[in-house]
Amino acid sequence: MIADALFAPFFDFEFMRRGLAGCLALALGATPVGVFLLLRRMSLMGDAMAHAILPGAALGYLAFGLSLGAMTVGGIIAGLVVALAAGLVARSSILKEDASLAAFYLLSIATGVMIVSLRGRNLDLLHVLFGSVLALDDNSLLLISAISTLTLFALALLYRPLVIECFDAAFLRSVSGTSPVAHYGFLVLVVLNLVSGFHALGTLMAVGIMILPAAAARLWVRRLPSMLGLAIVIALASGIGGLLASFHADVPAGPAIILAAGAVYLLSLALAPGGMLGARLDRRPHLES
């Protein structure tokens, strides 16, 4: 009975299998990027970037209609311009990264809204805003999987410089010139994965599958590799849970997935060793040294 409820939807319906494949790809690609966003204290930056992508995608839609390619390219360009401009300003002026990023993404949104209203067309942008994880076509699935594959390879290449850049950037700059490579390479990965996420979950919620599993995993484990692994598992489990909830309770899938990840986060916050109650529940006696 329970097995039926858990597995039958995926056996019986192709759109559920496609949604599952999309969630798996996102968990493998976007979530590890989210772990580094969280550890670099850039969680909100991910949110700002997601907003910066929206006008680019809207422009692509305006010019070429509901074409996957145009919206993707538009989103990537808008995201990269904002991320790189913000990084450049932060490195060469007295403004910090958050301030310059806020400035650029607000500019980006305003430009997008301006162009959209000048054209005076009623856009069906719900797809971009809220995604369509249950209506992923072949091209979207290929795009998401390709970006996830690329992300995994890029993270493997950047791993060591990126880790040092996160906790001791001054040391990395003093031993090698890879600091900017790690920094900008990481920003590019953030943008790519946000674009990949918006096809499934929409620009507003794409950040959710990056940050929520990462935050939950941080509460449970202490080592970075375990944190990456656990975050991926949580993201995939939330994806499956959200898809099933959407199927059985007839609710929209995107928000259901993010809410499932949110539930894991709240539960971890209560119970995990690093959470609010976890440390107090540990009643074991202290050690000798």
Which residues sit at the interface with another protein, rule CB under 8 A? 39, 157-158, 160-161, 163-164, 166-171, 173-176, 178, 218, 222-224, 227
Closer Cβ to another protein, 83 or 227, answer by number: 227
3-state SS track over the chain: CHHHHHHHHHHHCHHHHHHHHHHHHHHHHHHHHHHHHHHCCCHHHHHHHHHHHHHHHHHHHHHHCCCHHHHHHHHHHHHHHHHHHHHHHHHHCCCCHHHHHHHHHHHHHHHHHHHHHHHCCCCCCHHHHHCCHHHCCHHHHHHHHHHHHHHHHHHHHHHHHHHHHHHCHHHHHHHCCCHHHHHHHHHHHHHHHHHHHHHHHCHHHHHHHHHHHHHHHHHHCCCHHHHHHHHHHHHHHHHHHHHHHHHHHCCCHHHHHHHHHHHHHHHHHHHCCCCCCHHHHCCCCCCCC
Q: Which is nearer to another protein, 13 or 171 (CB)?
A: 171
- Note the residue count of the chain: 289
CB of 256 to another protein, least distance (A): 30
User: Shortest distance, CB of residue 39 to another protein, whole angstroms?
Assistant: 6
Q: Which is nearer to another protein, 91 or 119 (CB)?
A: 91
To another protein, the closest distance from the beta carbon of 175 in angstroms equals 4
Q: Which is nearer to another protein, 36 or 130 (CB)?
A: 36
Answer yes or no: are the C-beta atoms of 75 and 197 closer than 8 Å: no
- The residue to which tokens 């620009």 are assigned: 203
Closer to another protein by CB, 137 or 168: give it: 168
- Quick one: 220 or 265, whose CB is closer to another protein? 220
What are 149's two structure tokens? 């594959």
Closest approach of another protein to the CB of residue 266, in Å:
22
Q: Which is nearer to another protein, 146 or 221 (CB)?
A: 221
The least CB distance from residue 171 to another protein, in Å, is 7
CB of 91 to another protein, least distance (A): 11
CB of 157 to another protein, least distance (A): 8
